[in-house]
Amino acid sequence: MNKLRIAVVADNEPLIKRIAYHLNLNADWEAISVSGVEDFLVKPRDEWHAIILCYDFKFLDSEDCLELLRENYQGIKTVHVVSQDNEADYRDYLSDEQILDVVKNDDVLLDTLWNHAGVIHRGQSYSNQISHLKKTSTEVQILEDFVCTSPEMILVRNLMNKASNSDINVTIFGDTGTGKEVVAKYIHHESRRWNNKMVAVNVSAIPTELIESAFFGHEKGSFTGAISRKIGYFEEASSGTLFLDEIGDMDIRMQAKLLRVLQEGEITRVGGLGSIKVDVRVISATHKDLKKEVEQGNFREDLYYRLLGLSIKLPPLKDRGEDIILMSERFIHDFCKKNKKPLKYLSDCAKVALMSYTFAGNVRELKAVIELAIVMTDTQTIYAENLNIKSDFQREDFFAIERTLEDYELIIIEHFLKKYDYKVRFVAKKLGIGKTKIYDLLQRGLLEMPKPKTEPEDELPDQNNF
């Protein structure tokens, strides 16, 4: 694991140097001297695993110190060192889990701090192990959620892997319900920021009058109703990822402020005086054509290029071929397990119906259709008539006659060949089958291609018109 980084903070320079020197005798720790307690508490800097704060509450009382530690060094274990004659009441101070101990500057101070550093180091080691287990568990869940066997989605997967290897901004385009947030989660989880938060924000759901406070936070009393300080999305996502869903719906005035944050890497809370540094990787998503929004004056061109980065286009579900069946089977498994129902299965006719349906609501609609079918089906098998969809193949004449699976295949392939002007490669890709299968059926005479139209010689078009 990485070294334990300890900030040794005091106004007494000989004291902090003595403590830092002693702690650095352990090769697993890196103790760094920091002079100036008030400045350290007010202006956060660097990333610390532990803080040793040597301070007798000269200008800040224990309550102020605790509030600043919570705000600027949230969750970092702190040992507070005070002089031997300090008689302050620390009971409330010690009740906070961030404060590991308050110790006197006496003859055993160095040994006491050594022991506390060891406790923090072991705790960090356990925390890292737990984080690794969580990462593995989350990774399995995300990979199970992300089905990609179709050529279009394999391309998407390759782009996601490239995005994960850097901090480049990413913009995900796709219709509502195609899985844009799943893609964002995958990129965040596989990036170097995986151990920090991904904050997901639906931009279109935030009222215009609250959007600045929501993104940048606000100070207590900065406006009516601001009864306490609030941390905004950018601060919450610092060191992690901020996912801006439906970015195309952002108010044009807010776009200018967002651009400044992306350029400067700092925010100012509403009602605040100083700026706060933030380190955020931005992934945005939209169902709109942002280029067209720029042309129409609804979206700033400079923000468009700042956000664009690596562009990922998600195809609609109807173009994902066999993925539809794989996702359906996954939804069946998850829903039956969660609701303690016997596992159900899709009939061949149900699969055909699903593959031929357009799914305007994409993956969300598919999930809703499958879950309803499970609830409404009394048998172990889900048939086409159990699906609440109107597919091209859900006609009485299609199911009235009992056919072999090969006969159904021929009908389906012929249907799509006619639909797409006999483009064999396109149909094969859409149905998730090899083009050689279609060519074989044609060669065997089981399918027919229309003969090319020829016009009489006297009706040939005038060559001069070309």
pLDDT in tens, 334-376: 899 999 999 999 988 888 888 888 898 999 999 999 999 999 9
**193 token code pair:** 């920021």
Q: Which DSSP symbol is given to 341?
A: -
Residue 144 has a pLDDT of 55
Residue 434 has a pLDDT of 87
Helix, strand, or coil (residue 239): coil
- Which residues of the chain are under the pLDDT cut of 70? 1-2, 46, 87, 92, 125-146, 391-402, 451-466
| DSSP states along 336-389 | HHHTT----EE-HHHHHHHHT---TTHHHHHHHHHHHHHHH--SSEE-GGGSS-
Residue 466 has a pLDDT of 32
Task: Please give the Cα distance from 96 to 193 (Å, whole number).
Answer: 28
Task: Specify the CATH number of the domain 146-315.
Answer: 3.40.50.300
CATH class in words for 4-123: alpha beta
**340 token code pair:** 């303690």
Task: Please give the Cα distance from 65 to 51 (Å, whole number).
Answer: 13
CATH class in words for 319-443: mainly alpha
**197 token code pair:** 């938060």
How many CB atoms are located within 10 Å of the residue 88 CB? 11
Spatial strand order in the sheet of 50-54: 29-35, 4-10, 50-54, 77-82, 99-104
Helix, strand, or coil (residue 99): strand
- Measure Cα distances from 327 to 27, 137, 139, 342 in Å: 51, 20, 18, 18
Q: Let me know if the fold of 4-123 is the same as that of 146-315.
A: yes
Task: Please give the Cα distance from 402 to 396 (Å, whole number).
Answer: 11
Residue 401 has a pLDDT of 62
Residue 146 has a pLDDT of 67
Residue 464 has a pLDDT of 41
Task: Please give the Cα distance from 293 to 59 (Å, whole number).
Answer: 54
Domain ranges of the chain: 4-123, 146-315, 319-443
